[in-house]
Chain A
Amino acid sequence: MAGLAILKRIYLAVYNWVVFAGWLQVLYWAVQTLRTSGYEAVYAAVERPLQFAQTAAILEIFHGMFGLVRSPVSATLPQIGSRIYVTWAILWSFPETRTSPIVSSLVLSWSITELIRYSFFGMREAFGITPSFLQWLRYSTFYILYPTGISSEVGLILTALPYVKVSEKYCLRMPNRLNIAFDNYFATLFTLASYIPGSPYMYTYMIGQRAKALAKAKKSA
């Protein structure tokens, strides 16, 4: 159905550019604040656009599930999962982490990566062009930005750990009628552990994607 295909394209074009605008704000305010006030104030300056842009990404899981985009859910889920976790379960839930310098490295890594990614897809959906420079950026900057982003995520979770333990936030204790308990400290440790297999998996996935993209570009050149 041609109509459906056009609708899908308009939706994806709008989605990508709107989220791009969100990340642009994040980067702008992060850089501005670093220049004027210093790293402790970065979170406060970027909080709203960051939460908006990062949470919107949840839609991408459904894009993959319903075949709107080709990305497999197995690659999008861990990425979005860790981002949402750090944004809400760490930064928003534990204000003590917000003044850390790691927030700056996190926000810069995320925003630069996402600006490249969303503009790349936005160009493709809205204008049908895939500028080779953008494509090169998309499949090369991750070599640096994935390690810096992942280390920042892990660093912030580690920073939050003592506060997680002491505050008992989100913990569910027994006895209760449903005979269920949840220990946030244990869960946080488990999440940290998941970065050990998770990071190489995501990194090598991107390396594979890069090889595929470059091979395709070579063939059509």
Chain B
Amino acid sequence: MLVTVTSRSRKEVVKGGIQLSENATVKDLKASIHKRTGNLYPERQRLSLPLISGQTPPTVLDGDKRLCDVFPEGSNHIVILKYLGPQVKYSTLFFFEYVGPLFIYAMFYFLPLYKFVGLPEKQVIYPVQTYATIYWCFYYFKRIMETFFVHKFSHATSPLSFVFRNCCYYWSFAIFIAYFVNHPYYTPVGETQMYIGFGLGIICQLANFYCHNILKNLRDPKGQGGYQIPRGFLFNYITCANYTTEIYQGLGFNIATQTVAGYSFLVVATYIMSHWAAFRCLVQK
């Protein structure tokens, strides 16, 4: 079959179209487009069908679908190509997001940085500050390990610009929180409160790890993708239990360390995760 590839302004991207076998998939089409154009890597292509009047989100073409299944009966075989720009793997994105806070926090604990803002160096280091450093650094270490050994990602890539944007978010909050918890004038909470906080945090991190494993086992080993509803453990009661445990472990950290900085990060993160969870609930329904 002959497939015509145009841009969103209906200019032909590949002159004369692309000739493909009847059984060809969208993936084959993307590979052919790449071969013909040279610079349009498959990951940077978003292919969709021409909009029917009144339709708002375009029908994006999924990689493994066969082309003959995708085109409506008797249509000219036209696909619209959107250039997505440079992409990175999700694992790359996550790695940079998490490695920053890991080192930044440790720097504020170990290095004499406060003299640069005219403050005296710490006279005493409270136990809670030491435990907080261990907790925080372990937390981001866990996240990095999960990125490479646990998580199975749905879409192959995400835009390069997300690296800059997301790192700003994670790294700025890391600086903000690390600065205040390790501050020479930091005021610790009572011992009981500290233990309750870290206790809650550790329990939730373990629960969170278990949730991630349940989610990992949901994905078809052949990488079919798509959303499925997780079952078992907390998922029987809560839709996105992995986010819930994430939020409560953050709460634990804040109960133990008690800073405005830490709580503000918790509020923002909760807000963001609520949006993701709402989207997922919608998809699962």
Chain A residues near B (Cβ < 8 Å) = 174-181
Contact = CB atoms under 8 A, between A and B. Distances in A.
A178 B183 contact: no
B260 A174 contact: no
Contacts of A175: 185-187
Contacts of A176: 187
A181 B187 contact: no
Nearest to B188: A179
Contacts of B258: 177-179
B180 interface: yes
B259 interface: yes
20 contacts: A174-B183, A174-B186, A174-B187, A175-B185, A175-B186, A175-B187, A176-B187, A177-B258, A178-B260, A179-B180, A179-B181, A179-B186, A179-B187, A179-B257, A179-B258, A179-B259, A179-B260, A179-B261, A180-B260, A180-B261
B185 A180 contact: no
A174 B181 CA distance: 12
Nearest to B257: A179
Nearest to A186: B117
A56 B261 CA distance: 31
A85 B114 CA distance: 29
Nearest to A175: B185
A181 B180 contact: yes
A85 to B, nearest CB: 21
Interface in B228-274: 257-261
A175 B187 CA distance: 6
Nearest to A182: B260
Interface in B104-125: none
Contacts of A174: 183, 185-187
B123 to A, nearest CB: 12
A43 B187 CA distance: 43
A177 B258 CA distance: 8
A174 B180 CA distance: 10
A188 to B, nearest CB: 15
Q: 10 tightest A-B contacts by CB?
A: A180-B260, A174-B185, A179-B259, A175-B185, A175-B187, A178-B260, A179-B180, A179-B186, A177-B187, A179-B187
Given A179-B257, A181-B183, 11 more contacts: A174-B186, A175-B185, A175-B187, A177-B187, A178-B258, A178-B259, A179-B180, A179-B260, A179-B261, A180-B180, A180-B260
A180 B253 CA distance: 16
Nearest to A179: B259
